[in-house]
Chains A and B, each alone.
Chain A
């Protein structure tokens, strides 16, 4: 029993840390722009496909492919901001950018469907079947260990960047008050662009690591993104620490719900939690001052 619980705990942390990577991007963008990017889902999917083709079509190393996916994601983030968010920013509408990115998402999904077809790709990472035995009969695959290590390292780097570098501080300044930050000589447009690149790089990277543990189809990102939305809300929009806690929590809930009840019910559990959270504590786990939407 304990073994099962430990094993599910490990699996939960693996998925949780991937969710954190994806959700952090959403929350960063929301932080500086107060906007939601639906196409984030497809950046995850494209990241996964980029890693897949790099590894299998070109015979590249899987670990390198994570870096490739990171760059592809970053480039896409730049594109989404330049093509959608920047032109719509002057209009000052709250919902138009969100709706436009739903359009981008439909466009990208079906373009991928056109190119890659509906049949799931078997993305076998070379590390998926190498197992490390742990205490009490539990184990972890190298793939999952890579996921946890890379995610943790990335999140730590991001955290340090936000806390200690000038640019990170400027970013937080823009998130707090864009206009005043502009008066302090910070160029908000550049920082918004930077945020999109970082956020989408995280998504692409998350995709590369999700590919081997998920069913890789053009729609793979969507199932992840709806969970990421739930995580971002549970953690509090724009709140990095809350997002990390919420992401790991959702990963664990999912993992234990799969074990204890019906796997089909995990989404119901997660989204009921989301709705409860919205009803009881709309500002998220860690309350923040941002309340204009609540």
Chain B
């Protein structure tokens, strides 16, 4: 691994190796964590990873501060669940529709807010999230309002010929399903940000005026990025509903957006691997601190604030600094040995 590439070292071999490590890790984790409590946390981690990389694509790569990610999460969850329960649509079709609807909502918001940047977009997306939450709360004939929707079934069993059928009421299988999708999305986003599209987005993020002077259609690309990121949130929502089995509007309040934002920032915005670690850390750490009661939520706020103040590049930057120090230390001790 080259030391300066940091995250994404040499282009092909190293990355394939890390993908392999990730697949093995996902395969092994349910065996390490057998009890239902930690299995649940594993699944929540996978859902949060999906949410965090989606938000990071919008924020870190396309440079748009979206404070309404909870809305797209909620739209995906409610749309897929209502399709299944009210219209009897099969899970996987409902899943895709939920994802597409979230994506469309994201694109619509982005298109609507296309003239707005920075703070104005932040407030507009926040306002959008408030509206979606209030609609979920108040459209009682559709969403049952604060009472919530209960007894949502997990995805249907998959029966492959010649193999025992895979049931998703088994938490290990559920984890494989969601983590598998999280990996897939990660892989696709990774391809995307490395392609010329990634460079286009970076150009727009750094300087919109000069990007458009090169003939880049900034609006279209920003809308595209918003659509992709919110579609991922929609997928996470559909999985969330089928995993938890109940839906209440308060699962998608605006604070949820802040939580996802904290994962992205603490991990390292503008890198894909950072938000993955951020999501895992901020899901697991509060659970480890459960013994301290409400103190665990203070951790979120403290982590977010301290990271912005001292290591704005998040965990990724911290690892990079540590590695550089270690390298220097090693260099120094080598030099000492040679004397």
Contact = CB atoms under 8 A, between A and B. Distances in A.
B128 A99 contact: no
B304 A106 contact: yes
A107 B116 contact: no
22 contacts: A35-B119, A36-B122, A87-B309, A88-B309, A95-B118, A96-B308, A100-B305, A102-B258, A103-B303, A106-B262, A107-B298, A111-B298, A114-B298, A226-B126, A232-B123, A233-B123, A265-B138, A267-B131, A271-B127, A271-B128, A293-B117, A294-B115
B247 interface: no
**Top 3 A-B residue pairs of the complex, sorted by shortest distance between their CB atoms:** A107-B301, A103-B304, A106-B301
Interface of B: 65, 112-113, 115-120, 122-124, 126-128, 130-131, 134-135, 137-138, 254-255, 258, 261-262, 265, 293-295, 297-298, 300-309, 312
Given A103-B303, A264-B137, A278 B113 contact: yes
Interface string A204-242: 000000000000000000100010011011000100000
B261 A110 contact: no
Contacts of A94: 118-119
Given A36-B122, A99-B265, A279 B309 contact: no
Main secondary structure of the interface of B (DSSP, over half): helix
Interface string A19-51: 000000000001000111000000000000000
Contacts of B261: 99, 102
Interface size class of A (residues with CB under 8 A): 35 or more
B190 to A, nearest CB: 24
A145 B68 CA distance: 37
Contacts of A98: 65, 119, 122
Q: Which of B115, B117, B294 has the most CB of A within 10 A?
A: B294
A278 B120 contact: yes
B254 A226 contact: yes
B301 A293 contact: no
Contacts of B294: 110, 113-114
Q: Which of A36, A113, A264 has the most CB of B within 10 A?
A: A264
Contacts of A111: 298
B112 A268 contact: no
A104 to B, nearest CB: 5
A281 B134 CA distance: 24
A84 B305 contact: yes
Nearest to B265: A99
Contacts of A294: 115-117, 120
Contact of A103 (B113, B123, B135, B302): B302
A293 B305 contact: no
B120 to A, nearest CB: 5
Interface string A179-212: 0000000000000000000000000000000000
Given A110-B294, A110-B297, A100 B304 contact: yes
Contacts of B254: 222, 226
A36 B119 contact: yes
A262 interface: yes
Nearest to A107: B301
A177 B255 CA distance: 35
